[in-house]
Amino acid sequence: MGIGLEIPVFGAIAALKAVGLGASRIELNAKDSYSDGGLTPSLEDLKRVAQLPVPVRIMIRPRGPLAEKETRDFVYSDEEYAQMEVDIRAFKESGLLNEGRGDGFVFGILKEDSRLNDQCWVDEVKCWVDKDRCARLVESARPFKVVFHRAFDEIVSCDEDEIDIDVRYAWETGLNHLATCGFDAILTSGGLGHAANNITMLDKIIAKAETLGIEIIVGGGVRRHNVRELSRQLRLNERSQSTFVHSACLSNAESEDIDTDEVANILSQLK
């Protein structure tokens, strides 16, 4: 199967440019939210991209990481969760989403707990899928597609690096939880950092996800200089599931302007 290019964009103008350059799918984020990892866009942005010929996936994320680090990213308060529900409802009620085109939502909520070790609570706090809240949001989002974003990489990172990769369990537990919640796809780099540095774990995640009927979208540092080797090592063209790579294709880290040459080069590498 062919490999599609999903481009996360920040505002409607960027979305129109991405599709014009050949994006197979877009992830729509609020303008000026790249530094926050992407936030919920405005209804006005959706209105401006409603007629695009490719699927539009809307980010539902009420805030980026907190500066004081008192709360892990993707762990939300009751008020923040309620806002996510309101936003999904508003986008659906707008009538601008197209189920047949493959439109949908992108979100992820984690919860934290400590782990019992020799009958004592350890200081390290693990994170897991907040199954109750995620399942409710998935239900709210239907009949549209639902994607769990890179909050999944936080779960993967809960397995200690020194443990042999074949006996790590956090990633597989997380995958099973997401399947139970009803997610259609997961955006992941196979752990924290760049996808190119997590090939072995990504391969395991993709193989397991195929048995669950979940699409894996490979993202995290995907650029023209590594996308060919990344797709070769992961055998993306040979997978039974549809496969996408996810790249912002930005000119630089400080800009939200899509780099035309970057898009062209990635697309040529994926052929």
Per-residue model confidence (pLDDT) at position 52:
96
Q: Give the predicted TM-score (pTM) of the model.
A: 0.93
What mean pLDDT comes out for the span 13-34?
97
Task: Residue 176: count other Cβ atoms within 10 Å of its Cβ.
Answer: 13
- Give residue 126's pLDDT: 82
Given its phi and psi angles, is residue 239 left (phi above 0), alpha (psi -120 to 50 degrees) or beta?
beta
CA neighbor of 85 nearest in space, from 128, 135, 37, 35? 135
Q: DSSP letters along 101-140, please?
A: TT-EEEE--EEEEEEEETTEEEEEEEEEE-HHHHHHHHHH
Q: What is the pLDDT of residue 69?
A: 62
Statement: residue 122 has pLDDT above 60: no
Please report which confidence band the pLDDT of residue 154 belongs to, taking 50, 70 and 90 as the band edges.
Answer: very high
- Residue 37 DSSP label: T
% residues pLDDT > 90 (the chain): 80
As a CATH number, domain 3-270 is 3.20.20.380
* pLDDT at position 124 over 90: no
Q: Which two three-digit tokens encode residue 253? A: 């880290």
| Strand 25-29 relative to strand 243-246, pairing | unpaired
Mean pLDDT taken over the chain: 91
